[in-house]
A and B are shown apart, each in its own frame.
Chain A
């Protein structure tokens, strides 16, 4: 087991956290993100019976879409850490943390100018991409667990055997994104409006769009 890579995976989360701490976030952001984390963990618990078919990735993507890239990263990584208190901690926790965190971060970047939430096609593409990314990232952990060194032959073999799971991830992501995005985003925009996340100019844009 390559311990240096494992520790690197853990350490690579820290800069994101430090950046968030340094920004001195307001209390309302903390509250909203912790609510999102709790909802994500609950959603993972509800679907505990079906391995692989889980709405966690979709929830993280929606959190990134609604509240920006930093919140997306925090939601992904912390919900991985907290839900593993119930699903079992292990060396894989750090890999899950960084994989989900990066998915949330990317969805925040893609959704600038509301690019992702307007087009259903984009959501489909991003869901498939997130499923493949998560599977490939977790396969790195599998290879590290199975052998002393990282070997490309083993990695390709593991990728081949995990192909059905990858497809399952992609399908579940797309289904949950299609179902949850319209329902949740409406609510989240209302929450943002109520908590005062928007600036003045953005509020005027919002009212124009609705008309």
Chain B
């Protein structure tokens, strides 16, 4: 599954993540949120092999569940009073649902970050914002260079004798700035010499659009359509206040929940395959 996501075309990857992001943020119905929570947890634990990593996310759920009744006093089932403030069951459950929703978004972003790197952004937006794309890729490329140079400078300065660390840090920062701008001058010259900014130039990209990518985008779009229909028709409204009314779960709901699970777990169905570069 990791390979399937890594090899995916940036457009397909963005559509896949954006679809889940929209559905998990707009989710109003506890069943849908529950399905998303379970699936995203599966996705998360596929990458992280320790159970301890889930605790910060559970903390978010806990805080959301506790703070909501303090601000909202609607709902008819009163559990207890804090001073003269009534704490209602509905507000507590709403906070819990909201915390799960927040956890979904955070989990999704932590998976998103593993696969969507700088190259993907440059590939997608480099043609609409060519100058920005160049600046972006240049800045990202300069970072490791600066770190390396800073380490060299620190090591050299340490040999010169004792100095207060703050003073040394300031000195190194000043030297680093001068060095950065002086080397950027070389870079500018070499860019101009190689004809940057001239027309009729082709770009090199890591990604190629293949047939499997088209297929994958199609799958994502079809699942988005099905789930969007289900969302608009059935799951866009759910009232926590003043009291919760549950409908019994029917066959139709189960089908839609399976579709939602399929959308999130889509990369598990992808073929790993073998590639020339492996």
Contacts and interface: CB of A to CB of B under 8 A. Distances in A.
B264 interface: no
A41 B191 contact: no
Nearest to B64: A146
A194 B178 contact: no
Interface residues of A, number: 47
A39 B146 contact: yes
A1 B101 contact: yes
Query: Which 5 A-B pairs rank lowest in CB-CB distance, beginning with the nearest?
Result: A38-B142, A34-B138, A37-B139, A34-B139, A34-B135
A209 to B, nearest CB: 22
Tell me which of A3, A34, A39, A88 has the highest count of chain B C-beta atoms within 10 A of its own C-beta.
Answer: A34
B180 A38 contact: yes
Nearest to B28: A148
Nearest to B174: A183
Nearest to A77: B132
A203 interface: no
30 contacts: A17-B132, A20-B131, A21-B131, A31-B184, A35-B139, A35-B180, A35-B184, A38-B139, A38-B142, A38-B180, A39-B146, A39-B176, A42-B176, A45-B147, A78-B135, A82-B139, A82-B143, A85-B140, A89-B109, A90-B105, A145-B102, A147-B68, A154-B71, A157-B71, A179-B170, A183-B177, A184-B177, A187-B178, A191-B181, A195-B188
Size range of the chain B interface in the assembly? 35 or more
Interface of B: 22, 25-26, 64, 67-68, 71, 98, 101-102, 105-106, 109-110, 112-113, 117-118, 129-132, 134-136, 138-140, 142-143, 146-147, 150, 169-170, 173-174, 176-178, 180-181, 184-185, 187-188, 191-192, 196-197
A74 B170 CA distance: 25
A72 to B, nearest CB: 14
The main secondary structure of chain A at its interface with chain B is: helix
Interface in A128-160: 145-148, 151, 153-154, 157
Nearest to A179: B170
Contacts of A42: 143, 146-147, 150, 176
Contacts of A28: 188
Interface string A67-88: 0000000100011011001001
Contacts of A89: 109, 112-113
A75 B142 CA distance: 15
Contact of B191 (A31, A46, A79, A184): A31
Interface of A: 1, 3, 17, 20-21, 25, 27-28, 30-35, 37-39, 41-43, 45-46, 74, 78-79, 81-82, 85, 88-91, 145-148, 151, 153-154, 157, 179, 183-184, 187, 191, 194-195
Given A1-B101, A81-B136, A88-B110, 11 more contacts: A17-B132, A21-B132, A27-B192, A34-B135, A34-B138, A74-B132, A78-B139, A85-B140, A147-B98, A183-B173, A183-B177
Nearest to A25: B131
A147 B191 contact: no
